[in-house]
Amino acid sequence: MLFLFLSELTGFIATEIVNELYVDDPDKSSGGKIDVSLNISLPNLNCDLVGLDIQDEMGRHEVGHIDNSMKIPLNHGFGCRFEGEFTINKVPGNFHVSTHSATAQPQSPDMTHIIHKLAFGEKLQVQHVQGAFNALGGADRLGSNPLASHDYILKIVPTVYEDLSGKQRFSYQYTVANKEYVAYSHTGRIIPAIWYRYDLSPITVKYTERRQPLYRFITTICAIIGGTFTVAGIIDSCIFTASEAWKKIQIGKMS
């Protein structure tokens, strides 16, 4: 009884995470925007040349985005670490790290890089949810062609996490495919860039925390107690019947 009680108590205290899929835009209060956090190092490109450009199908075309961004020199000023937080519209588009916003274009820009972080929406740190919230984190392209452009094709999946209190947090997972190529401008010059082309999935993933109801826990405990006594009574009755039968056999032999 004690073992079964402790097992049920552990199951009652533990939180279960249930996931489901549905078609909807879960975060309607966001105004059609998605927060983006980007952290990337370009060890062979000066910070004066590094810029972030944003484009989408709603007509947005922003060259040299600087709001909520920071450039940290690397390798004694020969390299740069770009950290930025910005928003994108919930329509297909792209943002890219390039030298397009520089006043003077370098002769041979080196786009080898390491992506430390690319995440969308609110940060989720939940122990039992293993999702692709930072799928490009740790991507190392230092060994690639310095003059090559990099295309990262992202499929962004809306994700909702609802805790036991009913509070919801909105984030985004994403899948990624990539290719590397050398691109030439109309003048014949090579102008590489790091492209992040994104599209949104209509499917939303929802994670919900659930705990066993109290009435079910009480019902199970009562069933354990009653079942234990019932089984014990059956065993006791069988033993008593067998004992009485054995006594009668022994008395018959003696008589």
For residues 105-128, average pLDDT: 88
Residue 254: the pLDDT is 67
The pLDDT-based confidence of 255 (bands split at 50, 70, 90) is low
3-state secondary structure of 203: strand
The rounded mean pLDDT for the chain is: 88
For residues 156-179, average pLDDT: 91
How far from chain centre, in Å, is Cα 185?
Answer: 37
Residue 18: the pLDDT is 82
Residue 37: the pLDDT is 96
Residue 29: the pLDDT is 78
Residue 89 scores a pLDDT above 90: yes
Q: What is the C-alpha to C-alpha distance for residues 81 and 45, in angstroms, rounded to an integer? A: 9
The pLDDT-based confidence of 164 (bands split at 50, 70, 90) is confident
Share of the chain above pLDDT 70, in %: 98
The per-residue b/e assignment along 10-43, b for 16 or more CB within 10 angstroms, e otherwise, is eebeeeeeeeeeeeeebbeeeeeebbbbbbbbbe
Residue 60: the pLDDT is 93
Residue 230: the pLDDT is 87
Neighbours of 184 (CB within 10 A): 9
For residues 58-73, average pLDDT: 92
144, 43 Cβ separation under 8 angstroms: no
Q: What is the C-alpha to C-alpha distance for residues 143 and 150, in angstroms, rounded to an integer? A: 13
Residue 143 scores a pLDDT above 80: yes
Residue 240 scores a pLDDT above 70: yes
Give phi and psi for 70, each to the nearest 5: -145, 140
Q: Which residue has the higher pLDDT, 9 or 60?
A: 60
